[in-house]
């Protein structure tokens, strides 16, 4: 993935990850004569991101029938990294809808495009499932009224 901006007006939210070793954080670290203090939110995420492939039982609920489906974990990171809550995310090649689902999960809108009608149906189903999972169970008010 490459990311470019031609202006100083862009959105980039730093992503932090937990430190690998919590033990070393308990002791004072001096580097170049300065005392280093860890950031309570973790270390800055590097340039190389490692995400699992969608294989095995662990991903049976997430995997759909699409040849190049991306894991939601990477789609969510990208959406959080380059947009703010309430923004609209443009997804020019929606495919199975992972980026659209990630946008919904992270409180963003989305505008997705896809030519294959099977993939459009697949993406819509995934989005509806995520939206339904986020909604609390609703009571039918008419059923509770006494007649």
Q: Give residue-wise pLDDT tens across range 77-134.
A: 999 989 999 999 999 999 999 999 999 999 999 999 999 999 999 999 999 999 888 6
The model carries a pTM of 0.73
Q: Give residue-wise pLDDT tens across range 82-93.
A: 999 999 999 999
63 phi, psi to nearest 5 deg = -70, 135
Measured CA to CA in angstroms, residue 101 lies from 46, 66, 76, 84, 132 at distances of 25, 15, 8, 15, 12
- Residue whose entry in the numeric block shows the structure tokens 């990311």: 3
Q: Give residue-wise pLDDT tens across range 51-84.
A: 777 776 777 777 787 887 888 988 999 999 899 9
Instruction: Please give the Cα distance from 91 to 61 (Å, whole number).
Output: 23
Measured CA to CA in angstroms, residue 118 lies from 56, 99, 123, 125 at distances of 24, 17, 9, 11
| Structural domains present in the chain | 16-135 (3.40.50.150)
User: How would residue 147 be classed by pLDDT, with cut points 50, 70 and 90?
Assistant: very low
**Average pLDDT over the chain, rounded to whole?**
82
Which residues share a beta bridge with 31?
34
């Amino acid at each position: 993935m490459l990311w470019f901006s031609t202006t100083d007006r862009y959105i980039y939210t730093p992503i932090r990850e937990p430190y690998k070793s919590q033990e070393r954080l308990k002791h004072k670290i001096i580097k170049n004569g300065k005392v280093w203090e860890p950031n309570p939110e973790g270390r800055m995420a590097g340039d190389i991101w490692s995400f699992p492939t969608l294989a095995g039982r662990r991903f049976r609920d997430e995997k759909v029938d699409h040849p190049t489906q991306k894991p939601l974990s990477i789609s969510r990171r990208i959406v959080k990294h380059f947009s703010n809550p309430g923004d609209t995310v443009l997804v020019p090649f929606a495919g199975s809808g992972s980026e659209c689902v990630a946008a919904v999960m992270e409180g963003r809108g989305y505008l997705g495009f896809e030519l294959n009608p099977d993939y459009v149906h697949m993406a819509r189903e995934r989005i509806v499932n995520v939206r339904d999972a986020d909604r609390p169970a609703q009571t039918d008010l008419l059923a509770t009224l006494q007649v």
